[in-house]
Amino acid sequence: MKNYITHDEWSIVEDGFHAANNEITESLMSLGNGRMGQRGNFEEQYTGKTLLGNYVAGVYFPDKTRVGWWKNGYPNYFAKVLNACNWTGIDIKIGEETLDLNTCQVEDFRRVLNMQEGTLERTTTVQLASGKRLKIYSKRFCNMVDDESGAIQYSVTPLDFTDTFTITPYLDGNISNRDSNYDETFWNEIHKETSFSEGYLVLETKGNPYGVEQFQVATGMAFDLKINSLKTDYQSLPARREKYVAGVVHIEVKEGDELTIFKYAVNLSSTNYEKDQLIPEAKTYIKRISEKGFTQLYAEHVKAWADKWEKNDITIEGDIAAQQGIRFNIFHLNQTYTGEDERLNIGPKGFTGEKYGGSTYWDTEAYCIPFYLSTADEKVARNLLVYRHRHLEKAIENAEKLGFSGGAALYPMVTMNGEECHNEWEITFEEIHRNGAIAFAIYDYVRYTGDETYLSEYGLEVLIGISRFWKQRITWSAEKNQFVMLGVTGPNEYENNVNNNWYTNYIACWTLRYTLEVISKLWGSERLNEIIFQTHFNLNGEMADWKNIVDNIHFPYDPERQVYLQQQGFLDKEILTVNDIADHRPINQKWSWDRILRSCFIKQADVLQGLYLFEDEFSVEEIKRNFEFYEPMTVHESSLSPCVHSILAAKIGLKEKAYEMYVRTSRLDLDDYNNDTEDGLHITSMAGTWMSVVKGFAGQRVKDGVLTLNPYIPEQWNSYSFRIGFRGALLRVQVTQEGVAVENISDHDVTILIKGEPLLVAANSTERK
């Protein structure tokens, strides 16, 4: 764990330069606006530890799968989220000396991610090797309004000298991915041009044999200089190299004067524009934003952030670390996915790093959908579901590649376009519980919104595809006289190729039950007949098969401890707790894979994931027993783990544990719990953090169409509040040590249940309990 970030309610603050942690800080201070994003890199050259990262939503490269031992069924490629053109760069030379914080003495330093306004600011004073002292101030943002653009204000003030500065704002496409095989690069230059204070670069992703489109991204910039906030005359000489354009300005700056560079940039991608229109569109865009100027752009951007916070801020009084943690999570979720483009999804690293590739995991359905259901327009969650419907054909093809047939659908573990692009056999072929999460999300959406039209319009087709897959993947064991599922990896990826993973069996069985239920709901409708026809559904045969599995599937159980077994044979392991291995964590960095696999240690909720999703099918005592058996063995080395444990602990009354897990989930990246923040942030689990307050401490659920709350407040807090939308009503819930206040800030009356008792909250009024 690291503890160098100053606790603050609205900001992430690095006081004093922590060069050794720079890549962690860069991840934490990433900026984004749903369309593009970047790590918190310095604008000027930096030769120290850094991961330069700029990303454009939806742009990736299908990188050939390279493995030592090819297994039939592997996907041909891995979709790499591409590190794209660096648009923030501004090189600074003072006389002959290059400004580089790695080679000068840093006298004071403060880097701040202002989450309220969505900006990254830095103030620093340095002494160059020559002894000259210089003050630097920079502020930048990825514009939330003009969301294909960003702007930078960058100032230098010579404190004790006068000299000629060389200022070089540039665009640089000589970028490689850190995770690329053999240091390959993925961009070709298509076009470049420069004029006095503008530059444009069009890059295209390299060709590929998989039929994946080659994306083009046009990056444009314009810049302007001022001295002491006043216009100044300067000459700018264009500079061009391969995949690089710049303007070079030589300008004398007197001691005590402040030279400011304003840099405006756009990133337009061929996913949104015709390729031949990229340059003219980029020029128009640049003209528009540079004419508005930094101050106006900034004001509009701050207003957009204020609107976002208005909708989904969570306040926590009495615990600054907890308050900072939750805002950090909400901030990054908002930066990653706005819900405006239904082609996009929520990548586990968002715009903060490259690891993981792809953009869509089961994380979206199991973790993010509940967040969007409560905090965004209904259509956002719906779009996320439709995204999977659009990939149904690919999921069927994916299953066919593995030998399934008859319309069975296996959704990919990782994807950009519906095709599987993950290539570790134990995950690609075996971590099939993901299919269940996609089915569950349909149920979750309908349960929350009451929008049953989704089922007939899209949902049932997906459910049939997934159910058909389960039917074929589950086999009959004559020995057990039951159905079994062999060779799987459950959510706990620290076990591979196990038989009868309880969670996978459960979610498969649940999917079959739910699909049967949806069919009976639509019974007799024209749409059902249409779906039966389109999917060649054998109504009686397939339904009877599914029912048979539901009634006769095996669930491993230990009658002595009365707990579900994570998988068959789990109790053959030596049962230890994480306290027995305190110095060995994180085990994924300290132990061999072989040792991990043989141990009882659990990466993330597995049986508990099932008890969390299907809580109504189990008693509280049962959940508690399983929690107390499994949690002590859980190392929480997936970011997706602590939030689920926090919610369950809150439900079963383990308040201290719920709080501990809340702190862990909300500050996972801020405090670098798993020693991996430098790779980028864990964006999808951030929705889980939100859930641990709203579903955990406040006990929010929807039962039989009614919103229910069962709130309590951790003793460390004085109060907390959050907003949720529910079927047209917008509620602000505040929980204090004294009780609960529910304010209805909408024109819809709503009756909710608080601790089991009905409460009518009329439009525009507040009720207390």
Q: Which residues are catalytic?
A: 493
Which residue number, 243 or 603, has a Cβ lying nearer to ligand BGC?
603
Which residue number, 384 or 519, has a Cβ lying nearer to ligand BGC?
384
User: What's the burial of 486, exposed, middle or buried (CB within 10 Å: 0-12/13-18/19+)?
Assistant: middle
Query: If binding is defined by CB under 6 A, does position 370 make contact with ligand BGC?
Result: no
Residue 242 φ then ψ, to 5°: -55, 125
CB 714, min distance to ligand BGC, A: 27
Interface residue with ligand BGC among 565, 613, 640, 663 (CB under 6 A) is 640
Query: If binding is defined by CB under 6 A, does position 491 make contact with ligand BGC?
Result: yes
Which residue number, 132 or 332, has a Cβ lying nearer to ligand BGC?
332
* Bridge partners for 150 per DSSP: 142, 265
Whose CA is closest to 37, among 295, 337, 263, 372?
337
Which residue number, 5 or 640, has a Cβ lying nearer to ligand BGC?
640
Asked if 610 and 509 count as a contact pair (C-beta separation under 8 A), the reply is: no
603 annotated as belonging to a binding site for a ligand = yes
Report how far residue 685's alpha carbon sits from residue 639's, in angstroms, rounded to the nearest whole number. 6
Interface residue with ligand BGC among 224, 461, 493, 679 (CB under 6 A) is 493
CB 240, min distance to ligand BGC, A: 40
Tell me how many residues contact ligand BGC (CB under 6 A): 12
Query: If binding is defined by CB under 6 A, does position 612 make contact with ligand BGC?
Result: no
Interface residue with ligand BGC among 298, 309, 362, 690 (CB under 6 A) is 362
Which residue number, 356 or 726, has a Cβ lying nearer to ligand BGC?
356
| Nearest residue to ligand BGC, by Cβ distance, number only | 348
3-state secondary structure of 464: helix
363 annotated as belonging to a binding site for a ligand = yes
CA dist 9 → 141, 314, 319 (Å): 20, 11, 9
CA dist 473 → 214, 443, 467, 470, 567 (Å): 36, 22, 10, 5, 16
Query: If binding is defined by CB under 6 A, does position 32 make contact with ligand BGC?
Result: no
Which residue number, 146 or 679, has a Cβ lying nearer to ligand BGC?
679
Report how far residue 187's alpha carbon sits from residue 184's, in angstroms, rounded to the nearest whole number. 10
Query: If binding is defined by CB under 6 A, does position 236 make contact with ligand BGC?
Result: no
**In the range 683-702, which residues lie near ligand BGC by CB under 6 A?**
684
Query: If binding is defined by CB under 6 A, does position 430 make contact with ligand BGC?
Result: no
Query: If binding is defined by CB under 6 A, does position 634 make contact with ligand BGC?
Result: no
Which residue number, 260 or 684, has a Cβ lying nearer to ligand BGC?
684
Q: Which helix (H) or strand (E) holds 140?
A: strand 133-142
Binding segment toward ligand BGC, per CB under 6 A, in 243-251, 325-333, 359-367, 715-723? 359-367
Interface residue with ligand BGC among 325, 348, 358, 412 (CB under 6 A) is 348
* Bridge partners for 151 per DSSP: 141, 264
Query: If binding is defined by CB under 6 A, does position 501 make contact with ligand BGC?
Result: no
Binding flags for ligand BGC, 645-684, as an x/- string (CB under 6 A): ---------------------------------------x
Query: If binding is defined by CB under 6 A, does position 604 make contact with ligand BGC?
Result: yes
User: What's the burial of 701, exposed, middle or buried (CB within 10 Å: 0-12/13-18/19+)?
Assistant: middle
Asked if 181 and 65 count as a contact pair (C-beta separation under 8 A), the reply is: no
Report how far residue 473's alpha carbon sits from residue 173's, in angstroms, rounded to the nearest whole number. 46
User: What residue type is assigned to position 356 of the chain?
Assistant: Y
CB 358, min distance to ligand BGC, A: 9
* Bridge partners for 752 per DSSP: 759
Token duo for residue 351: 């715009």
Angle value at C-alpha 494, between 492 and 497, nearest 5 degrees: 90
Interface residue with ligand BGC among 117, 319, 363, 420 (CB under 6 A) is 363
User: What residue type is assigned to position 255 of the chain?
Assistant: E
Q: Return the percent helix, strand and coil in the chain, to nearest 5.
A: 35, 25, 40
Query: If binding is defined by CB under 6 A, does position 519 make contact with ligand BGC?
Result: no
Which residue number, 461 or 672, has a Cβ lying nearer to ligand BGC?
672
CB 682, min distance to ligand BGC, A: 7
Binding flags for ligand BGC, 722-761, as an x/- string (CB under 6 A): ----------------------------------------
Token duo for residue 523: 């019974």
Angle value at C-alpha 693, between 691 and 694, nearest 5 degrees: 65
Report how far residue 691's alpha carbon sits from residue 685's, in angstroms, rounded to the nearest whole number. 10
CB 491, min distance to ligand BGC, A: 6
CB 634, min distance to ligand BGC, A: 12
* Bridge partners for 109 per DSSP: 124
Whose CA is closest to 266, among 173, 351, 174, 143?
143
Token duo for residue 551: 């009634």
CB 367, min distance to ligand BGC, A: 9
Name every residue whose Cβ is closer than 8 Å to that of residue 634 and which is 6 or more positions away in sequence.
578, 601, 602, 603, 604, 605, 608, 641, 645
Residue ranges binding ligand BGC (CB under 6 A): 348, 356, 361-363, 491, 493, 603-604, 638, 640, 684
Per the annotation, where are the binding residues? Answer: 362-363, 603-604
Per the annotation, where are the binding residues for substrate? Answer: 362-363, 603-604
